Amino acid sequence: MKYQVDKNGFYGEFGGAYVPEILYATVKNLQEQYLGIIETEEFKQEYHQLLKDYVGRPSPLYFASRMSEKYGCQLYLKREDLNHTGAHKINNTIGQILLAKKMGKTRIIAETGAGQHGVATATVCALMGMKCEVFMGATDVERQHTNVERMKMLGAEVHPVRTGNMTLSDACSEAIRDWCCHPSDTFYIVGSTMGPHPYPDLVARMQSVISEEIKWQLEEKIGRDYPDYLIACIGGGSNAAGTIYHYMDDERVKIVLAEAGGHGWQTDHTAATIHKGTTGILHGAKMLVMQNEDGQIEEAFTISAGLDYPGVGPMHCNMAKQGRTQILAINDDEAIRGGYELTRMEGIIPAIESAHAIAALEKMKFKKDDVVVLTVSGRGDKDVETYLKNKEMAGEYGNF
């Protein structure tokens, strides 16, 4: 249990709950109540029923034979791309909206970058008939227009945020600001393993269904319930947390996470927070953040809107620091190539975020019978334009 959150909300030196005074009582109340609610039989029953009938779980664990051949290992893909709304994010929003309802909240707010978490939140709000407001940087509103229209169609109100760089980080700040004004009736559905305690733990638990399924699916397919390697991409860290949750303390399993290198982690155009960041406080938690000497947050750069965040969740900061996880920085061109490769070799167009995990394969050395489970966090429909615009990065796959 050494990588789990402690009773004060910390993962080693990272985490905690650094919130404005006006939110103390609300956050404390959530800290005191969340486990009691999500561990009841009633909650689990409703949550798992919805995951099955509404989200479409369990997501398949697919043996990728051509890619296995190429990389000299036994590669299995955990297909979160097949979930309703196209990514793992819905696992978390289903759980949090059930929690919000049980806590008697009537208004939902969320932040979003690429719009995937906004869509997943708007979706569960429509499902439950609850009022939904989403904060989104004005820059992202422009470049992710389809997701904005989806949210509106689902009945959500989208607030363009015009502070700072007008991207995800600013949207988070604005959501927290709104929460400060409506602490009693509003539930903030956080989209990744970030934010003040208990959010990183809450989100990790909601995503842990991923590794819960991997366990029995591997047992069924290969007669043992653990792989040699787990691979996932990491932005705030939620799909990675879900993928590794039930294996964190199992040292037989090596964990490799791919963060977004952008143009290269040593350049100014990067989102590789674990490589480049230093300890600071952002959006309610102590974690690794990209900042200048004065503690000003620096903008993150990556081709992938879903990984475009200058921080990374506290659980992952601690695990990386303890040496439990190996972190690779995957650059834009490598991710694009990885995305095309999965498309051509297995007929699966992955989200550009997930393509970072695919690209990690090339940087690793496997033995023939190593069992590798790689999470495909989302599907690439939203990224077709990006793939086409950058097909010169795809090598031989770009000649069409």
Ligand X SMILES: *Cc1c(COP(=O)(O)O)cnc(C)c1O
Residues that bind ligand X (CB under 6 A): 87, 89, 116, 192, 233-240, 306-307, 351, 353-354, 377-378
CB-based closest residue to ligand X = 378
Nearer to ligand X, 16 or 236 (CB): 236
Nearer to ligand X, 74 or 245 (CB): 245
Beta bridge partners of 14: 11
Nearer to ligand X, 31 or 144 (CB): 144
Least gap, CB of 27 to ligand X (angstroms) = 20
Nearer to ligand X, 74 or 158 (CB): 158
User: For 82-142, what is the HEC assignment?
Assistant: HCHHHECHHHHHHHHHHHHHHCCCCEEEEEECCCHHHHHHHHHHHHHCCEEEEEEEHHHHH
169 is catalytic: no
Contact yes or no for 90/113 (Cβ under 8 A)? no
Which helix (DSSP H) or strand (DSSP E) does residue 201 occupy?
helix 199-207
Nearer to ligand X, 26 or 83 (CB): 83
3-state secondary structure of 15: strand
Least gap, CB of 318 to ligand X (angstroms) = 16
377 is catalytic: yes
Catalytic residue of the set 59, 68, 89, 354: 89
Least gap, CB of 377 to ligand X (angstroms) = 3
Pairing of strands 107-112, 325-331: unpaired
How far apart (Å, rounded) are the C-alpha atoms in residues 386 and 303?
8
Least gap, CB of 356 to ligand X (angstroms) = 8
Least gap, CB of 127 to ligand X (angstroms) = 19
Catalytic residue of the set 169, 238, 304, 377: 377
Beta bridge partners of 107: 131, 186
Nearer to ligand X, 89 or 275 (CB): 89
Q: What is the chain's alpha carbon radius of gyration, rounded to the nearest angstrom? A: 19
Catalytic residue of the set 80, 111, 213, 334: 111
64 CB-near residues (< 8 Å, 6+ apart): 75, 76, 77, 345, 346
Which helix (DSSP H) or strand (DSSP E) does residue 26 occupy?
helix 24-38
111 is catalytic: yes
CA 320 to chain centre: 16
How far apart (Å, rounded) are the C-alpha atoms in residues 39 and 252?
28
Least gap, CB of 237 to ligand X (angstroms) = 5
How far apart (Å, rounded) are the C-alpha atoms in residues 365 and 362?
8
Q: Which residues are catalytic?
A: 89, 111, 377
